[in-house]
Chains A and B, each alone.
Chain A
Amino acid sequence: MQWHSVAEFLDMGGYAFYVWGSFGITALVAVFEIWQVRAKRREVLRTFSTETGSQDDPSEV
């Protein structure tokens, strides 16, 4: 084991900001993209339900 304490691990030999910044931004981007892909699917499915709804509306031909 190369780390003697949690504090030492978090400090990353003085490079904490750069190392955690890199891993942090990567994690954030992945979370954002997964959210974006799911939102896109919901949006596409929603347009189907509104289109089906509009077919029932006699005012729209």
Chain B
Amino acid sequence: MKLRDIHWFKFAAPQNFYYLAGRMWPWFAALAAVLTLIGLWISFFVAPVDAQQGQGYRIIFVHVPASQMSMFIYLVMAGWAGFGLAFKTRLSGMMASALAPTGALFAFLSLVTGAFWGKPMWGAWWVWDARLTSELILLFLYLGFLALQASIDDPRRADKACAVLALVGAVNVPIIYFSVKWWNTLHQGASVSMKGASMATPMLMGMLVMVVAFWMYTITITLLRVRSIILDRERHTEWVKHAVA
């Protein structure tokens, strides 16, 4: 079958996406589980002790995946929201809503695991550093998105209002990313960039495996959550009555 023979837009209809998501999530869940186990194994048994930070550096294996996830989810969410605003596709707003809670949780985890790392290495749970402050703003943007959505009863209007908020807030993501370059921060610079990685191979491998595992987890959770949102919003349609019967 040629790629162009697949009717891609067919899956933009919530009804079709509901069934597609139902078939896809178990695969992503399985990948997430397997990769998490491999990632944890590398994190604790393969990656060597760090010369400067001893065993304490192992926090990196949850801190970096959670942090990059919180930023990526925001961009994907803003992308869906913007697409929905431009093309009035029903599924887009539902996808944005399904991503927001997971993004908020990863932003929260980024800050908490960061505090657990900062306390032994810097001597402080929290500092008003550019990286930390902009990540805190990201958490507030997610919470604002969720609160705004909850406060508007009509889902289509809520989608529009939230899309504007998501798009405006997206400017914060590059600020988080470049904060360690633009300002003198206590937070260390990027260990992985286009030029290569400045860390031992097993450490890098562990981090990358955990990053992919977190991606698979996020996709699984988002597919599951969007299925409930689709059922809820399309509740008065015939296909939903058949689907839940």
Contact residues of A with B, CB < 8 Å? 1-3, 9, 12-15, 18-19, 21-23, 25-26, 29-30, 33-34, 36-38, 40-41, 44-45, 47-48, 51
User: B228 contacts A15, CB within 8 Å?
Assistant: no
Q: Which residues of A contact B116 (CB under 8 A)?
A: 18-19, 21-22, 25
A45–B109 Cα distance when bound, in Å, is 30
Within 8 A of A (CB), among B79-119: 101-102, 105, 108-109, 112-113, 116-117, 119
User: A13 contacts B66, CB within 8 Å?
Assistant: no
User: A22 contacts B59, CB within 8 Å?
Assistant: yes
Contact residues of B with A, CB < 8 Å? 44-45, 48-49, 54-56, 58-59, 62-63, 66, 101-102, 105, 108-109, 112-113, 116-117, 119-120, 217, 221, 224-225, 227-228, 231-232, 235, 240, 244
Choose from B55, B105, B109, B113 the contact partner of A15 (Cβ within 8 Å): B55
Q: Which residues of A contact B48 (CB under 8 A)?
A: 2
User: A25 contacts B225, CB within 8 Å?
Assistant: no
User: A48 contacts B62, CB within 8 Å?
Assistant: no
User: A13 contacts B102, CB within 8 Å?
Assistant: no
User: B244 contacts A26, CB within 8 Å?
Assistant: no
Q: Which residues of B contact A14 (CB under 8 A)?
A: 54-56
Query: What is the chain A residue whose CB lies nearest that of B236?
Result: A51
Knowing A2-B48, A22-B59, A37-B225 are in contact, say whether A15-B54 is a contact too (CB < 8 A).
Answer: yes
A41–B98 Cα distance when bound, in Å, is 13
User: B117 contacts A22, CB within 8 Å?
Assistant: yes
| Nearest CB on A from B104, distance (A) | 10
User: A19 contacts B58, CB within 8 Å?
Assistant: yes
A23–B224 Cα distance when bound, in Å, is 24
Query: What is the chain B residue whose CB lies nearest that of A34?
Result: B221
Choose from A18, A26, A34, A38 the contact partner of B109 (Cβ within 8 Å): A26
New contact pairs (6) apart from A13-B55, A44-B228, CB-CB < 8 Å: A2-B48, A19-B59, A29-B108, A41-B227, A47-B235, A48-B231
User: A41 contacts B55, CB within 8 Å?
Assistant: no
Can you offer 18 A-B residue contacts whose CB atoms are under 8 A? Answer: A2-B49, A13-B55, A15-B58, A18-B117, A19-B59, A21-B116, A22-B112, A22-B113, A22-B117, A23-B62, A25-B112, A26-B62, A34-B221, A36-B101, A38-B224, A44-B228, A44-B231, A48-B240
| Nearest CB on B from A56, distance (A) | 14
Q: Which residues of A contact B120 (CB under 8 A)?
A: 15, 18
For A21, A37, A41, which residue has the most chain B Cβ atoms within 10 angstroms? Answer: A37
| Nearest CB on A from B206, distance (A) | 13
Q: Which residues of B contact A38 (CB under 8 A)?
A: 224
| Nearest CB on A from B200, distance (A) | 13
User: A33 contacts B101, CB within 8 Å?
Assistant: yes
